[in-house]
Structures are given as C-alpha cells and as structure tokens.
Amino acid sequence: MKPLVLLSADTVLLGQLQNAFARQAPELSVVLADDPAARDAEVAACWFPPAGSLARLPNLKLIHSVAAGVDHLGTDPEHAEVPVCRVVDPAHRQGMAEYVRWAVIHYHRDFDRALKQQQRQVWLRHPQKPAADYRIGVMGLGSLGGAIAEELAAAGYAVRGWSRTAKRIDGVQTHAGDEGFAAFLDGLDLLVNLLPLTEATRGILCRKTFEALAPGAAVVNCGRGAHVAVDELIDAVQDGRLRGALLDVFEKEPLPLDSRLWTTPGIAITPHMASAASHDCIARQIGENARRLEAGQPLLNRVDTRLGY
C-alpha cells in the first residue's frame, strides 16, 4: 500500500495522529509532508493543509478530512479534483449536545452577567426566566442540529429550527429556505449556528441577522468560522445589539493573536473544542478508506463537493 501523508500546520496534532495510526492502522506507512516518500502518497489526511501542499502530491487519489467538516481544505485551493471524505464519529453528537447545553444555560441563567459582575465585585441577582419563555433558534437541522433542537425542546425551551429544506421535529417550530428565514429569526433570545458552510451560508451571521433577533440576544457559533462577519459581530456586541457571543470556530485556526475577537468584552472564545472525533476514531476511519481505495471499493462518508458536506 502506498504511503499516507498527514498535512497540517498543527505540529502537535500531527504527532497525535501518527501515534493513533500506529495503534489503529499499523499496516499503513504514515509520513509527513517533508518526507521524500510523501510524493508517492495516494491519500492525504488533512487539517488546514498548508497552501500548495496538496498540489505537490502527483499521485493523489483521495483527500480525507480528519474532521466532520471539509471547508478547512480550502486553505489549499489548488488541489487535484479527487474524491473528498470526512470523519463521522458516533460520539460527535453527544459532545456537540453537551457544548450547546452549556451555552444555553450560560446565557439563559445569566451566568455571563454574573461572571462580569464578579470582576467588579457586584452582588446582583437577575430575574430568572422560565425556559418556556426563552426563545432559542437552531440553524442547521441535520443529524447534529436536529437532535440538539429536539433535546432543547424536550427540556422545555421555546425552540425554532431553520434549514435549507423543510424538516419536521417534535416540539420544534421549523422553517426552511430564504422565505422562512425572517420568521425564524424574529425575536430570538439565543441563536445557535450548526450549519454547513456553503456559498449560501457564508457570512450568514451578520448585521442583518443580528438586527432581527431580540434586543440583547446572544449568538453561539459551532458551525464554521466563515459563517461570521467578524467586524459586524464585534460592532453588534459593542453597541449592545447583542449581549454577547460564544465562538468555537474560526476562519484561521489557531485564532491569530491580533484578532479583535480575543479582546472584545462580551465575546467568549473556545479553541474548536465543542466536539471532535477521537484520534483513534480518525485513524480507523481513514485507514479503512485507504484500504477501500486500494481495493477499488466504495468510500465511506464521501462528501458532495458541490454542497460542501
């Protein structure tokens, strides 16, 4: 079997993945980009591959994301037109649900305000709002978003959902398409984004979207960094249109130290930790697809590159 090459600027991740492949797919020869054997690689396992790194692989037959998303592959737009696959971890939904539950409680129960008060030594209890009166919108109703919206509704929240095509979810008021977007947003207290990144959704978290929410609403982005119009988000938080935002994903990761997102009061940053496949799961799934590629068998979790997921 030809070598498999790991492509990422994250040197810590590269080491962790090398160890995982050694455990889960020891029959594979796994190399890094600077290894001369990389030119023979037919499979590239990627996380934000450095610009031009894919184009330097003349025998490339499969690009494999090490995550559930594939938009980070756009950091190297010159790659060959070959199949693209992603990792699907059965535990991914659980991790994402835990993160969103924390985000919901953080804003619904005013923990964001309490933490700010502590910095000023202020003792003030805010009126507790019943869950039924707290309006949450979930953008993206796929396997993750749909399950999370249903779970929040079961917990007693007033939940709406929005997706590209119409969906039905118990306890959730669903909307679809451009024609349903305004009604979905109207007066929400918390907006959670779990959309895939497409040209239609790029920059969807923007001034126009924020202005449709309830005054003082909060935004949680677990989708993709390019969903956010960063300057418009910062302006909305600074002028009080939004009470805050919780961001887990960014167009460039790690988030550059000079980004204003780090230092804007009211914006909370987490390092792409909402949910991630285990390194062993990544190695198993990519190893299986490498074997399938060599045997001429159908690939698992192949991406429709036209849709971006």
Which residue out of 135, 160, 224, 243 is catalytically annotated?
224
Residue 25 and residue 170: Cα distance in Å, rounded?
41
State the residue for tokens 């390194």: 279
Phi, psi of 28 (to 5 degrees): -85, 140
Known catalytic membership, residue 72: no
Distance (Å, rounded) from C-alpha 276 to C-alpha 292? Answer: 24
Ranges assigned E (strand) in 250-304? 267-269
Closest by CA position to 272, among listed 248, 308, 303 = 248
Contact 218, 107 (CB under 8 A): yes
Active-site residue flag, 272: yes
Catalytic residue selected from 93, 272, 291, 292: 272
Q: How many other C-beta atoms can be found within 10 angstroms of the C-beta atom of residue 94?
A: 12
- Residues facing residue 32 across a β-bridge: 6
Pairing of strands 217-221, 135-139: unpaired
Torsions phi, psi for 235 (to 5 deg): -60, -40
Q: Cite the active site residues.
A: 224, 272
